[in-house]
């Protein structure tokens, strides 16, 4: 485990480190660049929103942005030196970027093509070179990247948070900082028939990405080929993964339930390395060849597909193949090793290692099958026949195999003079009743008279040929093969049948002196048996390697290497190097450099003497003299040559010659000759301007020079002599995509044939198609006229014959030949193959996420697509992580091939569920016809935030006298499923001063809080008066959530008021009172004074 942890950590470190590599190499990028031929230079393109698809933003084709009429952006040469080359954001319209060249963005970390929140885009036939990211898709879906070349970028193609995109037929090489292709949190994407090589550390990296397909193509030549990290349910199929220093394929950090099948994993450090809890991956039908360590697995995975499908081919497997069957204990070869292949690491095994590489044709397999049940025998009941029956289990023979021979062997102990015959009937999967007649079945008859020398006479083994009666088609239900032997005497007598415990033992006829015994297990183990020799059904093409040429099918080109020159057809240019001059065809220009002095011819010569003022032609006044002056009078200077530059090699057979203007010149003489002495010039013209375009010149080496001529017909000296080589080379390249297709008998297959004029002159090519099997391929066009370096396509179609057997194939060769020079031609090959029925299903759920309050039922739409070749019925099941009780209806769907149907998933959010709780629901769809064919999808149900509040008060009623403050206890309870803060307020009886002590309470869900309400009865309130006060709590999070309660305050116990006297009595009472109070007051004053004196004197002692 220590080793796997170190290797896993090392891989992550390598991936992380790739983002930290200093871009030192970026500084060497030259800013000098010329547009490729046929492309137009323009500034980078920026589009934000559908309204941005305008001519000003580079849209130069298409129309309305629909699927059938997309916007077109094509033919541009874009330097990304100061901005992303093509940046498109926030669009849903359909558009295509094609035939562009986007380059030189690496120095300032610019991206070649950048999509952000883009749907329905397509990039095709575009070259992206020397950018920080070649192509980057962020938050984008349903985009296609096809037939593109990405070279010398920091990172090749990256998909980040982007689903349902495709990368098809692309070449991605020399990604100098990071991965060639990276899927980052991206699902349901496809990388098909693409070549990825020479990346900085990992060629293809899937991080937190699920349900993707890496299919077809070659992944080669870096540290790690394919790395899956935190990624599950991905398929890696039909790939060649080779020449990686560390590992071909890495399964790391909980990468589970992935499939790796039909791949060749060749010449890597470790073929496949699995660690850090990456379990339940299926790895089968792969060829592990010449890896330093074929595989390491520190987890729990499946390394075979069961019996008889088998496991993988291991080039270092040394086991034998003497047995067959699920336990490899039945005598007979089955092309599966008799002992498992042990995988180092954690006790994993390939239980059924293949004895030869998967997919290589031409090896016959012989298998022996014994009866699946007893041999049954019964008499013919007066028909003159006796019958026996044998039933054989043929499921170990791969469905669709090519049956070379099938023999039913019987062992006899004795035979006398018998002139009867044997009639053999064969049919699959059943046992017959005795009343079925021979005419109902295909039958063959063997008589003694016809086979007296070898059949049914002498003791020993004899066989009956049953090849035509053996049908190995498991998908059609043929898993058994049954045969009935009918025995008859020519004279009408009926042989008897010996029966012993259900075993057929002997047939004998006293009338004909017949004594034939056919053995079963009671006789020394000589049971009847079925011997079958067959070729399994294979699906893949052979890839061959030569010393100087590598050729492979699908999307790769022929690559050849020579010393001094690198040449490749299609998208690459010829590059040649000379001392002092670097020349390359488009997109580079001729570059020449001199150092030192540039010499020009002398401009002046002495002529005569003047008096007065001398001015020079085209020059300023020099001097003024009087008397006699001798001066250098100017003559016409020789022109300076401009282009084509000296030593130019060009494919332009009508070049334009340019030279400098000469003052006072009226005309110029131009000579062009294929001899340096100009003895017989091809061009000798006098023109009034300093440029001239020739008619077509044949391929040759030319010299040229120019002189000026003034109005008096005076001429300058000839210019210097420059040379020009015109070389109109012819060449053609042919490419077919895809190079392999399969289909059912009767299906029509289509291929795209691309023909490119690799020459530097226009040409017309005749197209022919030939095939090996005579299936009659046809072309949509048998002739193409192409300008130099341009290409066009035609469609090749072929129909698989309805009587084709499974595995039959037709190799088709397409040849393009120049009609001008028939020696210039090129060919490409594709393959069509007849296959058996294919079953496949795809499941998706919409929406992916939904929420609602507790108690609500959420529904989702499940879409099932039958991607197979025949109608199928699927069973649907729904499970959820939190056991909320998800269900799906209907739970089965019958769908035609290529069709789709929907079901509904429902789940009820349980009452009381807290806000934000999520339940993951998984729907799995499984084919009834083939339980191994299934797909699943997930969706999320979450509880939404629901507010609720309840307010209560105690006591509800209270009373008191005027000026008394009444108090109440207010209780507030959060009855929602999310924590909340509530604002408390009062209403009613404002003159009684209602007031809550705490005006704000913050409560978690289900919790309650208290505060005090006070109400003060006014002083003048009358007995029995009452007021109602309302206390309201309002949610801060959702002001619509409100709770309130009321209480009542009542006046009680008001003191009684004294009786009011008449005024005279009042005055009298006042006077009497005063008389009484005056003496008392005087006494009180005197006592206070006395007390004051005592205080001043000090404390009183006791």
Q: Report the pLDDT value the prediction gives residue 525, as an integer from 0 to 100.
A: 56
Pair 386, 377: CB distance under 8 Å: yes
pLDDT digits (tens, 9 = 90+) for 444-485: 444 333 333 334 445 566 677 777 767 777 666 667 777 666
> For residues 506 and 515, what is the distance between their CA atoms, to the nearest angstrom?
8
Q: Is 896's pLDDT higher than 80?
A: yes
Q: What local confidence, expressed as pLDDT, does residue 531 receive?
A: 85
Would the pLDDT of 62 be above 50?
yes
| Residue 346 near residue 298 (C-beta atoms within 8 A) | yes
Alpha helices in 194-237 (DSSP H): none
Q: Per residue in 816-874, pLDDT tens? A: 999 988 889 999 999 999 887 778 899 999 999 999 999 999 999 999 999 887 899 99
Q: Residue 521, Cα to own-chain centre: how many angstroms? A: 57
489/508 Cα distance (integer angstroms):
10
Which residue's structure tokens are 């170990």?
396
Quick one: pLDDT band at residue 1101, thresholds 50, 70, 90? very low
2-24+77-361 adopts what CATH topology? Pectate Lyase C-like (2.160.20)
Q: Is the pLDDT of residue 86 over 90?
A: yes
Architecture per CATH, domain 729-834, reads as: Sandwich (2.60)
pLDDT at residue 791, as a whole number = 92
Cβ distance 788 to 736 under 8 Å? no
Where residue 507 falls among pLDDT bands split at 50, 70, 90?
A: very low
Across the range 784-811, mean pLDDT stands at: 92
Least confident interval from 276-280, 897-901, 1002-1006, 1083-1087: 1083-1087
Query: Rounded distance, CA 241 to CA 310, Å?
Result: 21
pLDDT category, 1059, cuts 50, 70, 90?
low
The C-alpha atoms of residue 635 and residue 707 are separated, in whole angstroms, by 12
Q: How many residues does the chain have?
A: 1102
Q: For 639-659, what is the mean pLDDT?
A: 90
Query: The domain 642-728 is classified under which CATH number: 2.60.40.10, 3.40.228.10, 2.60.120.10, 3.40.50.300?
Result: 2.60.40.10
Task: Give the pLDDT score at 615.
Answer: 31
The pLDDT score that the predictor gives to residue 679 is: 85
Nearest 5°: CA angle at 860, between 855 and 865? 160
Beta bridge partners of 795: 752
Which has more pLDDT, 927 or 581?
Answer: 927
Q: Is 898 exposed, middle or buried (0-12, 13-18, 19+ CB in 10 A)?
A: exposed
* DSSP code string of 480-548: EEEEEEEEE-TTS---EEEEETTEEEEEEETTTTEEEEB--TTTTT---EEEEEEE--------EE-SS
Distance, CA of 258 to CA of 233 (rounded, Å): 4
Between 501 and 657, the more confident residue is: 657
DSSP label of 359? T
Residue 50 in this model has a pLDDT that exceeds 90: yes
Give CA–CA dist 523/521, Å, rounded: 5
137-142: long-range contacts, CB 8 A cutoff, minimum separation 24: 137/162, 137/165, 138/114, 138/162, 140/115, 140/116, 140/165, 141/165
Q: Which one, of 155, 128, 131, lies nearest residue 29 by Cα?
A: 131
**DSSP characters for 127-169?**
EEES-SEEEEEES-BS-EEES-EEES-SEEEEEES--S-EEES
Cα gap 642→646, rounded to integer Å:
9
949-1051 belongs to which homologous superfamily?
A: Immunoglobulins (2.60.40.10)
Tokens of 481: 């093969």
Pick the CATH number of 841-943 from 3.40.640.10, 3.30.70.1400, 2.40.50.140, 2.60.40.10: 2.60.40.10
DSSP 205: E
Q: Measuring CA to CA, how many Å separate 652 from each of 55, 338, 628, 757?
A: 32, 68, 57, 15
What pLDDT sits at residue 1079? 54
- For the chain, the farthest-separated pair of C-alpha atoms sits apart, in whole angstroms, at 174
Percent of the chain with pLDDT over 70: 71
Model pLDDT for residues 971-1014, shown as the tens digit of each residue: 999 988 888 999 999 999 999 999 999 999 999 988 999 999 99
**Strand pairing class (1026-1035; 1042-1051):** antiparallel
Mean pLDDT of the 365-374 span = 71
Average pLDDT over residues 303-331: 92
> What single string gives the DSSP state of each residue in 410-467?
EEES---S---EEEEEEEES----TT--GGGS-EEEEETTTSTTTSSSSSEEEEEE-G
Tell me the pairing of strands 166-168 and 190-192: parallel
Instruction: Give per-residue pLDDT as tens, 958-973.
Output: 999 998 999 999 999 9
Check if the beta carbon of residue 346 is closer than 8 Å to that of residue 464: no
**Strand order from edge to edge, sheet including 949-954:** 949-954, 965-974, 1008-1016, 995-996
Return the bridge partners of 145, or none.
Answer: 123, 167
Going from the C-alpha of 360 to that of each of 85, 355, 578, 829, the distances in angstroms are 45, 11, 47, 19
Dist. CA 972–CA 950, nearest whole Å = 6
Roughly how many angstroms between the first and final C-alpha of the chain, as a whole number?
98
Tell me if 892 sits within 8 A of 875, measured CB to CB: yes
Mean pLDDT across the chain, nearest whole number? 78
């Amino acid at each position: 485990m220590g080793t796997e942890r170190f290797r896993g950590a090392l891989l992550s470190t390598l991936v992380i480190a790739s983002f930290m590599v200093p871009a030192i190499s970026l500084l060497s990028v030259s800013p000098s660049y010329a547009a490729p031929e046929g492309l137009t230079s323009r500034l980078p393109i920026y589009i934000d929103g559908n309204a941005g698809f305008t001519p000003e933003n580079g849209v130069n084709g298409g129309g309305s942005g629909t699927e059938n009429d997309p916007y077109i952006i094509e033919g541009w040469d874009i330097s990304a030196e100061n901005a992303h080359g093509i940046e498109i954001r926030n669009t849903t319209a359909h558009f295509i970027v094609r035939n562009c060249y986007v380059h030189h963005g690496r120095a300032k970390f610019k991206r070649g093509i950048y999509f952000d929140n883009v749907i329905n885009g397509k990039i095709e036939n575009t070259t992206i070179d020397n950018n920080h990211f070649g192509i980057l898709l962020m938050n984008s879906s349903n985009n296609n990247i096809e037939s593109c070349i990405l070279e010398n970028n920091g990172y090749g193609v990256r998909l980040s948070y982007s689903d349902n995109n495709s990368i098809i037929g692309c070449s991605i090489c020399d990604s100098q900082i990071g991965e060639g292709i990276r899927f980052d949190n991206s699902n349901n994407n496809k990388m098909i028939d693409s070549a990825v090589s020479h990346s900085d550390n990992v060629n293809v990296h899937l991080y937190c990405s699920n349900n993707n397909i890496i299919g077809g193509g070659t992944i080669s030549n870096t540290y790690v080929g394919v790395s899956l990290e935190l990624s599950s349910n991905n398929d890696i199929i039909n790939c060649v993964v080779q020449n990686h220093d560390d590992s071909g394929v890495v399964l790391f950090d909980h990468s589970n339930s992935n499939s790796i099948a039909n791949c060749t994993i060749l010449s890597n450090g470790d073929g496949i390395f699995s660690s850090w809890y990456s379990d339940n991956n299926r790895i089968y039908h792969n060829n592990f060849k010449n890896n330093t360590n074929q595989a390491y697995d520190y987890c729990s995975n499946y390394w075979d597909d069961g019996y008889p499908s088998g496991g993988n081919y291991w080039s270092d497997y040394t086991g034998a193949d003497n047995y067959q069957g699920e336990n490899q204990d039945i005598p007979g070869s089955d092309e599966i090793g008799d002992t498992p292949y042990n995988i180092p690491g954690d006790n994993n095994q390939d239980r059924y290692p293949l004895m030869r590489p998967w997919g290589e044709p031409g090896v016959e397999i012989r298998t022996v099958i014994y009866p699946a049940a007893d041999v049954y025998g019964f008499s013919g009941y007066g028909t003159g026949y006796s019958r026996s029956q044998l039933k054989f289990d043929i499921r170990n023979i791969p469905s669709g195999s090519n049956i070379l021979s099938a023999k039913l062997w019987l062992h006899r102990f004795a035979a006398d003079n018998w002139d009867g015959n044997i009639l053999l009937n064969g049919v699959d999967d059943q046992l017959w009743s005795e009343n079925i007649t021979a005419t109902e079945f295909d039958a063959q008859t063997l008589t003694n008279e016809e086979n007296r020398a070898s059949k049914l006479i002498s003791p020993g083994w004899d066989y009956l040929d049953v090849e035509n009666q053996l049908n190995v088609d498991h998908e059609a239900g043929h898993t058994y093969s049954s045969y009935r032997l009918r025995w008859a005497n020519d004279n009408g007598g009926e042989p008897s049948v010996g029966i012993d415990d259900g075993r057929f033992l002997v047939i004998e006829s006293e009338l004909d002196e017949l004594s034939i015994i056919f053995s079963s297990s009671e006789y020394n183990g000589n049971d009847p048996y079925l011997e079958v020799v067959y070729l399994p059904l294979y699906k893949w093409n052979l890839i061959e390697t030569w010393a100087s040429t590598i050729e492979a099918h699908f999307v790769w080109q022929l690559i050849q290497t020579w010393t001094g020159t690198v040449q490749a057809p299609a998208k690459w240019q010829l590059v040649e190097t000379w001392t002092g001059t670097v020349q390359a065809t488009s997109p580079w220009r001729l570059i020449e450099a001199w150092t030192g002095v540039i010499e020009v011819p002398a401009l002046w010569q002495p002529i005569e003497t003047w008096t007065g003022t001398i001015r020079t032609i085209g020059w300023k006044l020099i001097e003024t003299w009087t008397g006699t002056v001798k001066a250098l009078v100017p003559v016409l200077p020789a022109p300076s040559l401009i282009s084509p530059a000296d030593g130019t090699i060009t494919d332009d057979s009508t070049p334009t010659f340019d030279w400098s203007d000469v003052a006072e010149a009226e005309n110029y003489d131009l000579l062009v000759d294929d001899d340096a002495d100009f003895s017989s010039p091809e061009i000798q013209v006098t023109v009034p301007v300093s440029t001239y375009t020739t008619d077509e010149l044949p391929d040759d080496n030319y010299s040229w020079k120019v002189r000026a001529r003034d109005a008096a017909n005076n001429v300058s000296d000839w210019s210097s002599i420059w040379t020009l080589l015109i070389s109109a080379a012819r060449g053609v390249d042919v490419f077919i995509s895809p190079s392999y297709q399969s289909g059912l008998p009767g299906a029509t297959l289509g291929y795209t044939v691309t023909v490119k004029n690799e020459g530097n002159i226009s040409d017309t090519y005749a197209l022919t198609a030939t095939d090996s099997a005579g299936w009659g391929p046809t072309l949509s066009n048998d002739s193409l006229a192409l300008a130099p370096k341009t290409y066009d396509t035609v469609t090749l179609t072929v129909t698989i014959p309805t009587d084709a057997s499974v595995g039959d194939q037709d190799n088709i060769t397409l040849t393009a030949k120049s009609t001008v020079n028939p020696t210039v031609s090129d060919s490409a090959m594709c393959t069509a193959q007849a296959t058996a029925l294919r079953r496949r299903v795809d499941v998706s759920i919409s929406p992916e996420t939904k929420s609602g309050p507790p108690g609500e039922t959420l529904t989702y739409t499940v879409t099932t697509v039958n991607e197979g070749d025949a109608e199928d019925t699927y069973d649907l099941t729904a499970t959820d992580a939190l056991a909320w009780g998800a269900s799906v209806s209907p739970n089965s769907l019958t769908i035609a091939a290529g069709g789709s149907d929907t079901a509904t998933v429902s789940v009820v959010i349980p009452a009381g569920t807290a806000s934000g709780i999520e339940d993951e629901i998984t729907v799995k769809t499984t084919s009834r016809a083939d339980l191994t064919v299934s797909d699943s999808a997930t969706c999320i149900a979450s509880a939404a935030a629901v507010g609720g509040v309840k307010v209560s008060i105690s006591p509800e009623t209270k009373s008191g006298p005027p000026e008394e403050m009444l108090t109440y206890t207010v209780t507030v309870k959060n009855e929602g499923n999310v924590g909340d803060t509530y604002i408390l307020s009062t209403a009613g009886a404002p003159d009684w001063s209602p007031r809550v002590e705490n005006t704000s309470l913050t409560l978690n869900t289900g919790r309650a809080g208290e505060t005090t309400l006070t109400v003060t009865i006014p002083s003048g309130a009358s007995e029995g008066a009452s007021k109602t006060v309302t206390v309201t709590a309002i949610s801060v999070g959702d002001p619509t959530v409100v709770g309130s309660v009321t209480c009542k305050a009542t006046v009680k116990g008001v003191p009684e008021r004294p009786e009011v006297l008449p005024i005279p009595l009042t005055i009298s009472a006042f006077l009497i009172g005063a008389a009484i109070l005056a003496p008392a007051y005087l006494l009180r004053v005197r006592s206070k004074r006395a007390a004051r004196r005592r205080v001043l004197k000090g404390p009183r002692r006791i």
